[in-house]
Amino acid sequence: MKNSSRIAVVADSSASLPISSNAFDFLYLVPMNVIVDGTEFFDKDGNSLGEFYSLMKERSLRVQTSPPSPNAYLSVFREIVSKSVDQIICMTVSSDLSGSYNSASIAAKEAMDAFGEVDIKVVDSKTAAAAEGLILLQLCRNIEKGFTMAKSLNCLESIVENTTMIGSIDNLHYAWKSGRIPKLAYLGANILRIKPVFELNKGEINVLARPRTSKKVNERFIKYISDKSFTSDVCISVMHADAEDKAVKLIELIKSKTQYKELFLTNVSPIIGAYAGPGMIGAAFYHDI
């Protein structure tokens, strides 16, 4: 879809956009990269998800991740400017979770110094995955409607503040291997078969519950979403890491137990899958106010 206001949007591929990125001709995704046992997976390549999770399940393999470099962002900014677009909104995964925001900020300064009359605003989404994807979707829709740069940024700030994500990790082995949790926490949760339910809100991760079954996980999800979804204007995106069957069950529960304006189903990208591991499910939502 075309953008009459000549604003480009750039985002890192941590965002689980609930529709095809090809829907917006002004949207550019900068890949975050994952290397599993020497095989590199670019986060933009959705066709490699099956192979990626197959390798992830071989637990002895080494997994490395990296955010986009400043040069990766700079290359995209240069491409946009070459198309005579001089306004760019760049949104990244939470700066508390990745160096993507820092890379984008460095590149934006270099681009504005080098290219002259170009205005680049870098925005911290304070979230990731499906929540980042919902924010990105609404930003693109607003620009498509003809919103100015200032109005788009003002609305974006409001959306970021009103977006929340809840998730559950099926097995903490992958979070431990990635260095996100200590080994003792992983071993304890593994012995007790705990599937922690967490909230990511405004950049902070909070553990909400420690259920042991998928049924209890879904019950906690529904309670959380129902408590937050007090009106029918909520947009929800259910995400999963190689766990579509569990995600579909959650979708059906949401349909029967809550109210909503839009409901999506999406995969998480390899960068999220590398930390959360196969089996992770979650849901992000915001109120379309």
Instruction: Supply φ then ψ for residue 222, to 5 degrees.
Output: -65, -40
pLDDT tens sequence across 88-100: 999 999 999 899 9
Q: How far is Cα 153 from Cα 91, in angstroms, rounded to an integer?
A: 10
Which pLDDT belongs to residue 190?
A: 54
The predicted structure's pLDDT at residue 179: 55
Average pLDDT, integer, range 105-121: 95
Side chain identity at 268, as an amino acid letter? Answer: V
Tell me the percentage of the chain whose pLDDT exceeds 70: 86
List the domains of the chain with CATH numbers. 7-32+67-161 (3.40.50.10440), 164-287 (3.30.1180.10)
Mean pLDDT of all residues in 245-253: 95
Give 200-234 pLDDT, tens digit per residue.
888 888 888 888 888 899 999 999 888 876 667 88
- Measure the N-to-C terminal CA separation of the chain; round to a whole number of Å: 23
| Structural contact between residues 154 and 142, judged by C-beta atoms closer than 8 angstroms | no
What are 151-162's pLDDT values in tens digits? 999 999 999 999
Listed in sequence order, the residues at least 6 apart from 255 whose beta carbon sits closer than 8 Å to its beta carbon are: 263
Cα(168)–Cα(198) distance, rounded to whole angstroms? 6
- For 35-46, the pLDDT digits (tens) are 877 777 765 555
Q: Which percentage of the chain shows pLDDT scores above 90?
A: 54
Q: Nearest CA to 101 among 32, 34, 157?
A: 32
pTM higher than the cut 0.85: yes
Mean pLDDT of 180-185: 47
